[in-house]
Structure 1
Amino acid sequence: MISTDTQNTNTIQKDSSSDYLLEVRGLKKYFPIKAGLLQRNVGNVKAVDDINLFIKKGETLGIVGESGCGKSTAGRTLIRLYEPTEGEIIFKGRDIAKMSESELRKTVRRDIQMVFQDPFATLNPRKTLRSILKEPYNTHNLFTKKEREEKVQELLEKVGLDPSYINRYPHEFSGGQRQRIGIARALALNPELIIADEAVSALDVSIQAQIINLMQDLQKEMGLSYIFISHDLSVVRHISDRVGVMYLGKMMELASKNDLYNEPLHPYTQALLSAVPSTRRKGQVKRERIVLKGELPSPANPPTGCVFHTRCPAAMESCKQIIPEFKEVKPNHFVACHLYE
């Protein structure tokens, strides 16, 4: 009998000559399901289930997938806003997952920052812009009072906000301006990695372009690395160097953006990209639309074997029983699919 509990323990083998900032190995984040008066644990929601990825200094890694695939949970677990259930998060040679809160505060909390989808929900409505941007310096006891004022002015200039707005409150700004404030706050401590969780999805298209251009300019100026989480495949293609595709808590495919968009290997990636509207050049072959059947399974009760087999047009018998290994099938192109074994 074939076991349905085979776990993917394979990690991405990286080039030792490359300069890697972050490497994630076997990351899991399960949320317990409680029931009854005694709130007993009756199962787990497998929001992130054994993912592997890495990011180089100065690059942007995009993470895409439909709603509920676990991409935002993965981002928050990487920064320890959620405690990982299992796995390693190696940042500059140290495992974040094993650090105490005091260690995190002294090191990682300064080097990794997050920009959230809804800036209004993450900005204190009772504080002025000056107080919001000074808060990181106050928390970490950095600089003199005069130097903090100067730093705040520098941050405003960096993100394209008028310094005369410094005494305004969050409700006095537009959505795009509030996202600029969120970016400025993330930049305050000169981080090396910024995790942007749906950072432009709530904005108008024209404002999205402004924020993305700002992020790219800041990346060149400050040598930043980004993990850019989004459901918008067009935006991710524009900003990313490499792209990872998630489905039901699993990483399905990871490759450079050109390889992934021009030659997707996983059936799920192929289906996602077939739904993206595109303009074709003369003579270019039209990509066939792939319609997935069935509903997205529950992460509380994921299918055995490959989690995508219930909707996959290319599913085989082995897909129902054996979890596919996430492995490199082409240079720097990783996929978890039995089709490539």
Structure 2
Amino acid sequence: MDKIKVLITGSGSLYGVAVIRALLASQLNLKLVACDMEARALGLHLAHSAYLVPAAQYETAYLERLLDILIKEDIQAVFIASSKELHFFSKYKAEIEAKTKAKIFTNSPEVLNTCDDKWYTIRFLQENNFYFPLTIRFPEDAEQLCSFIKKVNFPVIIKPRRGTGSKGLCKIENFTGLRTLLKGQKDMIIQQYLPDHQGEYTTGICAGKNGKILSGITLKRYLHDGMTVSADSTGYTEITAYCQKVAAVLKPYGPCNFQLRLREGKPFIFEINPRFSSTTGMRFLLGVNEAEIMLKAELLNQAIPEFKIKKCSVIRQYADYLVPTEQLEQLENKSCCIFQPG
């Protein structure tokens, strides 16, 4: 089999490194090319070739640099490992694929907009008769605040409509705290609190063309500052099956993550992220290699068998890597590739 050339963008992110590690462990014959804004992004030094690129917000410059890399390296598939690049690739997907041989694994603008805005996420769940936490907007629904609190009781959750992780999220216990935190705010939601005594779960669904479900795995998360630091994979098949039903309606393309808690034994989704996640590496260790799955299904047209998920716990600990200083200097001075065996 000829080498499959794969580009991983945003390679310095937690899930960028996870994607590269997962693909390095694949039995497929691959050449991995990484790009990032910073020479000290670890993924650049794990891949076979590396490039510095402008920030995606400078669309014209980034697109020009990206096309140069894709053509020079004869790239066949692109994995996006930076949440800040998702809308760029969705916008330019057709143009990039027309000008290169690369297949871009990205979602439609409609899916991204539904998931980026937590209010739109709740509306999607409600309109399709899935479980969801009761939610109102602020300041748009300010007149409903008292009746909303009467219905759900304290505590409640307030958080920005857009954002990642736990940034801006607060658990509020009374009206005094609620009014103080909402003063002067906009683009917020106020949400029914979902008890955490049964834990919090993340379900990863990988989907191919037309939303075809390729894999699914649910992990019980143990969090610190909004980040998964440990996870269990034992069981949870009913949660996975439920999220597969949600994904079948949403029709994401590639990896998609559903964050949820249980209420009265039912899975209440409160966030959907249509991208790789901080648990991508954990899933790979447990037997679900989402990047490899996408290459097999979407590039090689191979059937994807049912996965045997390891019944284990994963504990995350950060590791230190040695990188030759000459590699850093080469990238900083030339913004060009480092050739490593592969």
Q: Which has the higher contact order (CA 8 A, sep 6+)?
A: 1
Q: TM-score, normalised by structure 1?
A: 0.29
